[in-house]
Homo-oligomer: A and B are copies of this chain.
């Protein structure tokens, strides 16, 4: 491995100068820069980032803690996060926690403040208190997409307006003339997605729907979970004409359940989700959903972490990005004519 010292020797300067050529070239005489660059080229020198990190007291690595990257939301997030990090000269460590606090803790213990200058923590089952402690160890900690976020929290948080997303879905369904609604409430990492449902309920209320026009079911936040919950709901409540899922995966499962029950989407049943993962427009019928600005959230989380790492930490505690927006596709339509009952 070629070291800075060897470059220095060859260019007949000291290490300090080589270092300067690389980091503050304007401080070095042009001809020296030239000579050093030549030596670097000839020797094929590459700075050792580990050594640099140790000397600077700061690494160029960020960690992203998420529950399970196989959940289709995360790859889209990671893609955007990694691009933003790379753009700023940082690298991204991806850490799956499997929603296991022990794994989360082990990761945090090992890398926060040593291998990783900053950590972005997506929904997790860890107590916030523990994360505050991690932050105390010298790592920039930013929370991301925590649904049950308190404005008083000690850690900065990048988030979206989950309630508004639910309300948007309610508005859309209501406008289409639906009267009986089913809600599929996901239990994901970070607990049940109740804020979205609350938003949906208040959206319904705002449009004059009675509370009993809504029936809800809790389920796992997955295609399978959505399928099962929709099956149960649809069988039990034949008057339902619209299903709201707190996440796209469940909505997709719900559409499959509808198909298996011989209900056509959207003719007999409208289905709407939240997030707008890629899958949503790839499925048939294409899913109507409330889009989260995923890439923007990811990029914002990275920049926020870096601002903290690099000491230009902004004052605010919570960062909402562009709000959610309705994306109408094929899975929602006018409420079917009422059957006489």
A residues bordering B, Cβ < 8 Å?
1, 44, 46-51, 53-54, 59-61, 68-70, 72, 74-76, 78-79, 82-83, 86, 91-96, 103, 109-111, 113-115, 137-138, 223, 252, 256, 259, 278-279, 282-284
Decide: A75 near B79, CB < 8 A? Known: A49-B111, A49-B114, A279-B279.
no
Contact A69 B96 (CB under 8 A): no
Can you name 24 A-B residue pairings with CB atoms under 8 Å? A44-B137, A46-B110, A48-B54, A49-B111, A50-B59, A61-B115, A69-B75, A69-B82, A70-B79, A70-B278, A72-B72, A75-B75, A82-B96, A91-B95, A91-B110, A91-B111, A91-B115, A92-B93, A93-B93, A94-B94, A252-B282, A256-B284, A259-B284, A279-B279
Residues of B within 8 A of A49 (CB): 110-111, 114-115
10 cross-chain pairs, A with B, having the tightest CB-CB distances, nearest first = A49-B114, A75-B75, A94-B94, A48-B114, A49-B115, A70-B79, A69-B75, A50-B53, A70-B75, A50-B54
Contact B61 A93 (CB under 8 A): yes
Residues of B within 8 A of A110 (CB): 46, 49, 91
Q: A101: shortest Cβ distance to chain B, in Å?
A: 15
Residues of B within 8 A of A72 (CB): 72, 75
Residues of B within 8 A of A103 (CB): 86
Q: A9: shortest Cβ distance to chain B, in Å?
A: 19
- State the CA gap A93–B62 with chains docked (Å): 9
Residues of B within 8 A of A252 (CB): 282
Q: A247: shortest Cβ distance to chain B, in Å?
A: 14
- State the CA gap A54–B52 with chains docked (Å): 10
Decide: A137 near B96, CB < 8 A? Known: A49-B114, A70-B75, A284-B259.
no
Q: A277: shortest Cβ distance to chain B, in Å?
A: 10
- State the CA gap A74–B78 with chains docked (Å): 12
Contact B61 A69 (CB under 8 A): no
List 12 additional contacts besides A46-B113, A50-B53; criterion CB under 8 Å.
A1-B138, A48-B54, A51-B54, A61-B93, A69-B79, A70-B75, A78-B94, A82-B96, A91-B115, A93-B94, A94-B94, A283-B283
Residues of B within 8 A of A69 (CB): 69, 75, 78-79, 82
- State the CA gap A96–B295 with chains docked (Å): 15
Residues of B within 8 A of A278 (CB): 70
Q: A153: shortest Cβ distance to chain B, in Å?
A: 22
Contact A137 B50 (CB under 8 A): no
Q: A18: shortest Cβ distance to chain B, in Å?
A: 16
Residues of B within 8 A of A44 (CB): 137
Residue of B nearest to A64 (CB): B94
Residue of B nearest to A279 (CB): B279
- State the CA gap A282–B252 with chains docked (Å): 9
